[in-house]
Amino acid sequence: MAILEVSGLCKTYPGFTLDHVGFRVEPGSIMGLIGRNGAGKTTTLKSILNIVHPDAGSIRYFGLELIAREREIKQRIGYAGGAVDYYKRRKIADLLDVTASFYDSWDAAACRKYLDAFSLDTQKTPAQLSEGMRIKLNLTLALSHHAELLILDEPTSGLDPVSREELLEIFLALRDRGVAVLFSTHITADLEKCADGITYISRGKLLASESLPAFLARCAETGAGRNLDEIMVHFEKEDYRERLA
């Protein structure tokens, strides 16, 4: 059974339409959601978290409908939209205490383990942390209740190369423990290092959703490119010289 199954997801904003996007995330796998800026990645993630309301489509976690079983599902997933950007002036200890009270399966020992592993000082506030450390704090919050699926929106954007590498290692370690990870990014090199599958959205439409090796092989065969960077440029590049002429 897929841990997350999305089908026919549609959402229309003035000037933008997310058009029948669908994909599956299997347990213990890393799925990359790629597309250029404004392609619809964040709208997709917000839709699957019920932050925005899709016009159509089905979203099922663990075989359960999101809208009908939202509370139960959110006990089992974790979301980190990049760095912590809430309650930035409150102590991390307070933030952890409050967050813990909402989860039945909050594991204080696991939380302590992540805090130690990420060298997070609970007496500090998020405002006192670097971008990379705030992402790690978000991961701690998301993982301390034993989330089976971690959803991240552009977690590596704005990070230095070392922090990005560390974060990817964390994803791989989580995958080894059976946690599924869905993360959006436009930094394709990150995906080539860790993703099992890829969902590619272009201008609101689903271009591909399959295993990464199969996608790369198919694109190489058709001459679309040998790596994700080349493939994205192949599909997305617009001729601005002609437009501006």
Rounded least distance, CB 95 to other proteins, Å? 7
Whole-number CA gyration radius for the chain: 18
Residue 182 has which token pair? 């869905």
Considering the complex, state which of residue 7 and residue 50 has its C-beta at the smaller distance from other proteins. 50
90 binds other proteins (CB under 8 A): yes
Q: Which residue has the tokens 């199969």?
A: 214
Q: How far apart are CA 26 and CA 42, in angstroms?
A: 20
Closest CA to 174 of 148, 156, 135: 148
Give the side-chain half-sphere CA count within 13 A for 151: 19
Rounded least distance, CB 227 to other proteins, Å? 34
Considering the complex, state which of residue 94 and residue 236 has its C-beta at the smaller distance from other proteins. 94
Residue 11 has which token pair? 């959402």
Residue 138 region by backbone torsions, left for phi larger than 0, else alpha for psi between -120 and 50, else beta? alpha
| Of positions 20, 24, 36, 46, contacts other proteins by CB under 8 A | 46
65 binds other proteins (CB under 8 A): no
| Of positions 68, 86, 162, 239, contacts other proteins by CB under 8 A | 86
Q: What string of DSSP letters covers 210-222?
A: EEHHHHHHHHHHH
| Of positions 98, 108, 217, 233, contacts other proteins by CB under 8 A | 98
Considering the complex, state which of residue 6 and residue 45 has its C-beta at the smaller distance from other proteins. 45
Considering the complex, state which of residue 88 and residue 230 has its C-beta at the smaller distance from other proteins. 88
Rounded least distance, CB 193 to other proteins, Å? 27
| Chain contacts with other proteins (rule: CB under 8 A) | 46, 49-53, 70-75, 79, 81, 85-90, 94-95, 97-99, 101-103
